[in-house]
Amino acid sequence: MSDIGTGNEQSIRYDSSVTDGGGNERHSIQTYVSDMLALERHIALPLKRQLGMDDTSKYGPALAAIATIEGLNDAHVMALDQCLQQLGGHEASAIKSAWASLLGAGAAAIDSVRKTKVSKNLRDDYTALNLAAISYTMLHATAVGLGDTTTADLAKRHLCDYARCIMQIVQIIPDVVLEELQDDGESVQTGAAALIRLQTNEIWKSQADVTR
């Protein structure tokens, strides 16, 4: 289970080695890019393990979704690393324990005893991607506000990538949850997955007015 919100007060910021004094704007963007690179690296950690699980291969849509996330994550890491180099920033390692706490460092151990492994892996991936999404929104706002169009475009592209993945997980999770229940010997109502998906989509659509 994820450890988000456990009260760990350790800073989750990188410090790039750029000093202030005339370069505050660049330093701010470097810091956000470093944050995102660290986050993307931690998102990557469970994905290969999930793809290698026998349980995952039983559920085609889940396997496809996780593979898509892994491919995008690889591309994001490369792009952020290149962006950070161009900004003159440096990746640091002090952040690792903080991100591990946020994303649940003990997830791998818990996975070994889960009965509903695949659906809960998707839940954890959904949580991590939403953290990435709001973080990319912050990077996008910072870069636009400070006039860095290159970094702003990168943040917007990566946000778009993960927004689609988040929506995809919402669409497939009812089927995976119910299929796992069936595989565990439970009797599941016919058509339940389609009903859950319809109701969930209606809930999200009904709250879309906040974007106006």
pLDDT at 142: 95
pLDDT in tens, the chain (212 residues): 344 433 443 333 433 333 344 367 778 899 999 989 999 999 999 999 999 999 999 999 999 999 999 999 999 999 999 999 999 987 756 445 455 566 665 454 445 555 668 999 999 999 999 999 999 999 999 999 999 999 999 999 999 999 999 999 999 999 999 999 999 999 999 999 999 999 999 999 999 999 87
pLDDT at 27: 83
Look up residue 113 and give its two tokens.
């005893």
pLDDT at 211: 86
CA within 13 Å, CB half, 179: 18
Alpha helices in the chain (DSSP H): 24-52, 54-57, 60-87, 96-103, 107-111, 117-145, 149-183, 192-206
Angle, in degrees to the nearest 10, between helices 117-145 and 24-52: 160
Q: What is the C-alpha to C-alpha distance for residues 171 and 197, in angstroms, rounded to an integer?
A: 6
Look up residue 79 and give its two tokens.
């792009």
pLDDT at 192: 97
Nearest Cα neighbor of 62 from 163, 168, 162, 191 is: 168
Nearest Cα neighbor of 165 from 175, 173, 177 is: 173
Read off the pTM.
Answer: 0.82
Q: What is the C-alpha to C-alpha distance for residues 113 and 97, in angstroms, rounded to an integer?
A: 24
Look up residue 5 and give its two tokens.
């919100």
pLDDT at 169: 98
Q: What is the C-alpha to C-alpha distance for residues 53 and 79, in angstroms, rounded to an integer?
A: 28
Other CB atoms closer than 10 Å to residue 133's CB: what's the count?
A: 18
Q: Are the beta carbons of 172 and 61 closer than 8 angstroms? A: yes
How far CA 87 is from CA of 17, 29, 94, in Å, comes to 11, 8, 20
Q: Amino acid identity, residue 135?
A: S
Q: Amino acid identity, residue 206?
A: S
How far CA 149 is from CA of 10, 85, 143, in Å, comes to 31, 16, 7
